[in-house]
Amino acid sequence: MPDFKSIGEFGFIDHIATHPTPKHVLCGIGDDCAVMAQSNTQVRLVTTDMMVEGIHFFTHTPPEGLGHKLLAVNLSDIAAMGGTPTDAVISLAVPINHDVGYLERLYNGLYACADRFGVAIVGGDTTRSNNQLVLNITLTGHMDLAHVCYRSGAQPGDLIYVSGTLGDATGGLSLIRDKVEMNQTHRTHLLRKFHRPEPRLELGQTLSKTGAITAMMDISDGVASDLRHICQRSSVSATLQASTIPLSEASLRFCEKTKKDAIQLALSGGEDYELLFTIKPDRAKEIENLVQKSDHPQITCIGQITNGSGDISITYKEGSLSPLKFTGYDHFRTNA
């Protein structure tokens, strides 16, 4: 039998996703949330995430930020369907001599985020671990059946959009790992994007209600990798215009200093938790105006869906069209 290193996370998920599910499960494994029919007009959304010390966070990770992030990245999954979060349960496996103060601070961050987004923490499980702290969250939400945005509806001709700016979270992570001299404003921006991702719940809800969004997901593994999921689920290909990818001033300055390519950082950097979505071309301007008039973060068109079967090409300034090689982040393969 193979080990995880050889088949990878997605190989294993493909393997277990073949088991049949009953009719009330509208979408099981393979989207940002599972979607279950609740009534003729309403669905329930469920998403879950496990975070392991030494893999997703470290003993020096600020616990309030960790508590925030545990919830925020799952709120981002609810946002990616266009839904409204309701409640969550939290499991903890804790080494026996672990400092309770650290966990209280973690819960402070978690509760602050929960209160802000109207989420009730309704229970959980607390148990022992031999050495690593392990956290798990399961978040439930709901929405109108008619407005659910899956990954699978993108059509050739649809325009590809992202919210906010990309690559900032990876910049923030680099700032923690390596010593980089930067002005305080830019430094704070990048670190905040890494430690305190902002779930795009209101934007997701606004977009889903227009009926013009053909596919949507959140960007957790880098836009290039995540767009591949939309293309595969929708049986289409995509072309991205590198020059249109939205970059923050902070990311540009960071890349100048570190001689990194800001576009590459934006394409392949994980944990931005912005929304990636496709719009019917005849409704794109209307949606742009709708978003601009409200308090939502900016949205930017970065490319177009084409005929094909999951290929992603990138046009750089020079006009060259190059197939994308980056395959995205896989916990079991990238670090193998």
Residue 122 as a binder of its own copies (CB under 8 A): the answer is yes
Among 156, 192, 232, 332, binds its own copies (CB under 8 A): 332
- Kindly indicate which of the ranges 9-17, 154-162, 307-315, 318-326 contains the residues binding its own copies, using the contact rule CB under 8 A: 9-17
Q: Which of the residues 62 through 91 are near its own copies (CB under 8 A)?
A: 86-87, 89-91
- Kindly indicate which of the ranges 102-110, 190-198, 202-210, 258-266 contains the residues binding its own copies, using the contact rule CB under 8 A: 102-110
Please check whether residue 255 is in contact with residue 249, taking contact to mean a CB–CB distance below 8 angstroms.
Answer: no
Q: How far is the CB of 111 from its own copies (least distance, A)?
A: 5
Please check whether residue 174 is in contact with residue 156, taking contact to mean a CB–CB distance below 8 angstroms.
Answer: no
Is 258 in a helix, a strand, or coil?
helix
- Kindly indicate which of the ranges 63-71, 92-100, 245-253, 316-324 contains the residues binding its own copies, using the contact rule CB under 8 A: 92-100
Nearer to its own copies among residue 93 and residue 275 (C-beta): 93
Whole-angstrom distance, CA of residue 316 vs CA of residue 281: 22
Among 62, 129, 210, 306, binds its own copies (CB under 8 A): 129
Residue 124 as a binder of its own copies (CB under 8 A): the answer is yes
Residue 14 as a binder of its own copies (CB under 8 A): the answer is no
Residue 120 as a binder of its own copies (CB under 8 A): the answer is yes
Nearer to its own copies among residue 6 and residue 320 (C-beta): 6
- Kindly indicate which of the ranges 115-123, 172-180, 183-191, 234-242 contains the residues binding its own copies, using the contact rule CB under 8 A: 115-123
DSSP 303: E
Whole-angstrom distance, CA of residue 107 vs CA of residue 251: 31
Round to the nearest angstrom and report the end-to-end CA distance of the chain.
18
Residue 28 as a binder of its own copies (CB under 8 A): the answer is yes
Q: Which helix or strand (DSSP H or E) is residue 16 part of?
A: helix 4-16
- As a dihedral over the C-alpha atoms of residue 307, residue 309, residue 315, residue 320, rounded to 10 degrees, the angle is -100
- Using alpha carbons, list the distances in angstroms from residue 13 to 17, 24, 257, 268: 6, 21, 39, 22
- As a dihedral over the C-alpha atoms of residue 172, residue 176, residue 181, residue 182, rounded to 10 degrees, the angle is 30
Residue 111 as a binder of its own copies (CB under 8 A): the answer is yes
Residue 144 as a binder of its own copies (CB under 8 A): the answer is no
Among 60, 101, 178, 319, binds its own copies (CB under 8 A): 101
What residue has token string 């923050």? 248
